[in-house]
């Protein structure tokens, strides 16, 4: 049962990879920590949408499955004995001289929500709330062959799959499905891809059929998808192809929700921070995809560093005797 009131040194909003690492690091620096997320499980977008996706940019792992990374981060975070506040959406904020008060609304009916009194807050909410951009030609086929996520690759074993998109998600899903599906084609409206260069090279060397520059303009089938119509972006010529599954990976619509009205400086739905990861609000910091500054590189590995930077600058706010610069982690042994 979630307590109605929580007092803690630092509240971390967002239980994705960056929030989980920040939770561990806050405990390492000697702080009490509470971890809040609107979802019922930790892992954020990575666990909810890409649990079987391989991650390549985390130090120490040549390749790591998304859910395995989340599991390891949770095990690491639990060393800090955090107060877990899941299914709680942060809605209100009050900043005062000695700390920050966050009010949250519960997603469980009958749960009154929680009020958290913290000496500082670290927002690590990824993209905020998110939902996929709908495929214009998708119509009512969502759930009938059209999907926007592939949480279980095995569900598409033996299918003829058409993946739509040109970013990392589209390319990664096409490559991941290649050994399982009967056939995989990747349709993109441009010849160039936005995905990581190494992934694009792997795509070009794979058996995935790359169809560019084309768009999906129609989907047909009585009870489920049977055919799709592709149109050439320039010539407008069209042709049909038989597929069983369409995976649309064409991006997300993101929303900061109530946090957008907290008085933080924003740019393109991201929270502006300084070199310490602090927002324009005293005692409120941000890290990970939700944070923005000049030269930002949106990688999980960068988010880990941002979380550590934020926690180290939070330390003197929690205890005036603590330094910003920590000792070596081996000193804790």
Judge whether 135 and 165 are in contact, CB under 8 Å. no
Between CA 130 and CA 169 the distance in angstroms is 15
The residues of the chain that CATH labels 3.50.50.60 are: 5-130+252-332, 134-248
Between CA 325 and CA 98 the distance in angstroms is 22
pLDDT of res. 44: 87
Q: Is 58 exposed, middle or buried (0-12, 13-18, 19+ CB in 10 A)?
A: middle
Among 70, 41, 53, 249, smallest CA distance to 151 is for 53
37 annotated ligand binder: yes
- DSSP 8-state secondary structure symbol assigned to residue 21: H
Between CA 236 and CA 257 the distance in angstroms is 40
Judge whether 296 and 277 are in contact, CB under 8 Å. no
Judge whether 304 and 21 are in contact, CB under 8 Å. yes
Kindly provide the b/e burial profile for residues 156-190, where b requires at least 16 CB atoms within 10 angstroms of the residue's own CB.
beebbbbbbbbbbbbbbbbbbbbeebebbbbbbbe
pLDDT tens track, the chain, 333 positions? 566 899 999 999 999 999 999 999 999 999 999 999 988 889 988 887 778 888 888 999 999 999 999 999 999 999 999 999 999 999 999 999 999 999 999 977 777 899 999 999 999 987 766 678 899 999 889 999 999 888 889 999 999 999 999 998 899 999 999 999 999 999 999 999 998 898 999 999 999 999 999 999 999 999 999 999 999 999 999 999 999 999 999 987 777 889 999 999 999 889 999 999 999 999 999 999 999 999 999 899 999 999 999 999 999 999 999 999 886 666 655
- DSSP 8-state secondary structure symbol assigned to residue 66: H
289 annotated ligand binder: yes
130 annotated ligand binder: yes
Fold of the domain built from segment(s) 5-130+252-332: FAD/NAD(P)-binding domain (3.50.50)
pLDDT of res. 181: 96
pLDDT of res. 61: 92
Between CA 55 and CA 62 the distance in angstroms is 8
287 annotated ligand binder: no
CA distances to 14, 37, 237, 240, 288 from 84, in Å: 11, 9, 55, 50, 20
Please give the CATH superfamily to which domain 134-248 belongs.
FAD/NAD(P)-binding domain (3.50.50.60)
71 annotated ligand binder: no
Between CA 242 and CA 227 the distance in angstroms is 4
Judge whether 45 and 153 are in contact, CB under 8 Å. no
Judge whether 225 and 232 are in contact, CB under 8 Å. no
Widest CA span in the chain:
70
207 annotated ligand binder: no
Between CA 6 and CA 33 the distance in angstroms is 10
Judge whether 86 and 37 are in contact, CB under 8 Å. yes
User: 3-class SS at 1?
Assistant: coil
193 annotated ligand binder: no
pLDDT of res. 1: 52
User: 3-class SS at 238?
Assistant: strand
pLDDT of res. 254: 73
pLDDT of res. 328: 65
């Amino acid at each position: 049962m979630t307590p109605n009131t929580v007092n803690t040194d630092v509240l971390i909003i967002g239980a994705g990879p960056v929030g989980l690492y920040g939770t561990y690091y806050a405990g390492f620096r000697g702080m009490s920590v509470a971890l809040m997320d609107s979802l019922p499980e930790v892992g954020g977008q990575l666990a909810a949408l890409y649990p079987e996706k391989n991650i390549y940019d985390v130090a120490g792992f040549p390749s790591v499955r998304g859910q395995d990374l989340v599991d390891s981060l949770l095990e690491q975070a639990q060393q800090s004995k955090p107060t877990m506040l899941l299914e709680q959406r942060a809605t209100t904020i009050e900043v005062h001289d000695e700390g920050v008060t966050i009010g949250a609304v519960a997603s469980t009916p009958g749960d009154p929500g929680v009020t958290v009194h913290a000496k500082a807050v670290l927002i690590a909410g990824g993209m905020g709330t998110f939902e996929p951009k709908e495929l214009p030609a998708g119509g009512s086929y969502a759930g009938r062959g059209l999907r926007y996520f592939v949480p279980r690759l095995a569900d598409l074993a033996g299918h003829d799959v058409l993946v739509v998109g040109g970013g990392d998600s589209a390319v990664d899903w096409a490559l991941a499905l290649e050994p399982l599906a009967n056939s995989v084609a990747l349709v993109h409206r441009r010849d160039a891809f936005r995905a990581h260069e190494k992934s694009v090279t792997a795509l070009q060397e794979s058996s995935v059929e790359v169809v560019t520059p084309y768009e999906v303009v129609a989907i047909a089938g009585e009870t489920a998808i049977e055919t799709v119509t592709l149109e050439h972006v320039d010539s407008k010529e069209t042709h049909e192809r038989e597929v069983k599954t369409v995976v649309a990976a064409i991006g997300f619509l993101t929303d900061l929700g109530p946090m957008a009205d907290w008085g933080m400086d924003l740019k393109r739905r991201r929270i502006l921070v300084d070199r310490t990861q602090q927002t324009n609000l005293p005692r409120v910091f941000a890290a990970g995809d939700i944070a923005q500054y000049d030269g930002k590189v949106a990688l999980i590995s960068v988010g880990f560093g941002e979380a550590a930077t934020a926690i180290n600058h939070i330390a003197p706010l929690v205890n005036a005797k603590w330094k910003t610069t920590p000792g070596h982690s081996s000193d804790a042994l």
